[in-house]
Amino acid sequence: MRIRIPAGLAAGIVLALGATACSSSTSSGPTGTSTPASGGNAGKTLTVWYMDGDLSDAAVKAINDKFTALTGAQVKVQIQQWDGINTKVATALAQDNPPDVLEIGNTDVPLFAASGGLSDITSALPDLQAGGQHWLPGLEGPATVGGKSFGAPLFAGNRAVIYNKKIWAAAGITAPPTTFAQLTADLDAVKAKNTAPDFSAFYFPGKYWHGALQFVWDAGGQLAAQSGGKWTGTLESAEAQKGLTAWKDFVGKYSSAASRDVETTAPDFNTLFAQGKAGAILNSSINSILKVGPSLKDQIGTFPFPSATDGRTQPVFLGGSDLAIAAKSKNQSLALAYLKAATDPAVQASAIVGIDHWIPASTEVIDQTIGSLPATSQAFFTAAKTSVPTPAVAGWATVESDKSIDDFFADIATGRKSPAEAAKSLDAHLDQALNAPVS
């Protein structure tokens, strides 16, 4: 399943702006094709599936207009609901007349690529990435299965540190930290100033793998590695263990004891922040906080989580969408042109960022647009430039859905298991889940 960034992210940036068991697919798909020139496609229509609530009508229109200008063809957009979407997509891809292009959650792409439902677009990447575009690894990586690409990035959301400037100022801190050492020093000051037992200098739920994994990646660790066609869990590696230990120490020192065996929603950490019970949290949006405490608007600051290596930020998990082509589409060349339109830097800048305020597909568009954003939005864009993909294999959906990775981090945070003990258990589960045949 796709772990979606909450729908409040884009809206949060608006507020910040001040309203401004099969083998991999062998389908050749668009291989060897080129973007069709405008003309000669009059009367042709491409069917595209978009997910409800992701892109605005205006952003979709901008992509469609670019596509029509490129090809002369029209677009039929069909909006899909999230409930039961994976089953619906699998069914559609198996039919002889599927939608031509589908928006698919980035971590779900391997599931459909493994069943042979998506076209291999590898040979088209030079054309799609024309102009030296470098797609974000957290979007491109999950769509790269067995060395072949099955999707083009559309947009992303991610996490940054959100902090209460008033609470931090009372502790003598007037500027956000840029190094991990500065962050911990600042949190020490916040903690010393706020001694209530239910206060967290940095509230960090134990069952929050999206955030906790940043520490693993920052230390050079990975969830799993592939060799010879087989996946192996790697959380027992020295690098991963270093990151897990650092995360446990951070949570143990700065987050309340009550946080260590709970998710972000029970209790809701946005509410805790709005109530002044947390000096900082790691989240994807300021909007959820402002819904609870709108008066906090001028008190909220953001910054990317600093890396243990000075001059860097922690790698982040990107939740977002890719566009993929159905292997059985009868309009492969036109579908490829649609991907080119959607990833065009000008469309990404004007529509994905300018209209919907999502993170764009490439670092170049981030660099192009970030200067127009206020600081609270810039932090998310800066953080997104350093991302790590989850394993590009169908079995990753099992790990997301069975909550084993959340339990893994909670076991470490609570002390039920040491990082080494917890890693041994989850590595065994990863070995099984990531190598399970796809039915």
CATH number of the domain that 356 lies in? 3.40.190.10
- Whether residues 201 and 138 share a domain: the answer is no
**71 domain-assigned:** yes
- Whether residues 208 and 126 share a domain: the answer is no
- Whether residues 74 and 204 share a domain: the answer is no
What domain count does the chain have? 2
What is the residue range of 330's domain?
Answer: 8-157+318-384
Q: Give Cβ neighbours of residue 314 (< 8 Å, ≥ 6 apart).
A: 214, 215, 217, 218, 304, 305, 306, 307, 383, 386
Question: 282 by DSSP, 3-state: which?
Answer: strand
- Whether residues 210 and 269 share a domain: the answer is yes
Contact indicator for 231, 391 with CB cutoff of 8 Å: yes
How, if at all, do strands 280-283 and 101-105 pair? unpaired
- Whether residues 311 and 342 share a domain: the answer is no
- pLDDT of 21 reads 30
- Whether residues 245 and 204 share a domain: the answer is yes
pLDDT in tens, the chain (439 residues): 444 554 334 434 443 333 233 333 334 455 545 556 556 788 899 999 999 999 999 999 999 999 999 999 999 999 999 999 999 999 999 999 999 999 999 999 999 999 999 999 999 999 999 888 999 999 999 999 999 999 999 999 999 999 999 999 999 999 999 999 999 999 999 999 999 999 999 999 999 999 999 999 999 999 999 999 899 999 999 999 999 999 999 999 999 999 999 999 999 999 999 999 999 999 999 999 999 999 999 999 999 999 999 999 999 999 999 999 999 999 999 999 999 999 999 999 999 999 999 999 999 999 999 999 988 999 999 999 999 999 999 999 999 999 999 999 999 999 999 999 999 999 999 999 999 997 6
Look up residue 46 and give its amino acid. Answer: L
**2 domain-assigned:** no
- Whether residues 109 and 19 share a domain: the answer is yes
- pLDDT of 132 reads 87
**438 domain-assigned:** no
**85 domain-assigned:** yes
Closest CA to 283 of 15, 17, 9, 1: 9
Distance of CA 54 to the CA centre of its chain: 13
- Whether residues 55 and 184 share a domain: the answer is no
- Whether residues 268 and 180 share a domain: the answer is yes
**226 domain-assigned:** yes
- Whether residues 147 and 181 share a domain: the answer is no
- Whether residues 85 and 138 share a domain: the answer is yes
> Token digits for 67?
């596509």
- Whether residues 329 and 412 share a domain: the answer is no
Question: 367 by DSSP, 3-state: which?
Answer: helix
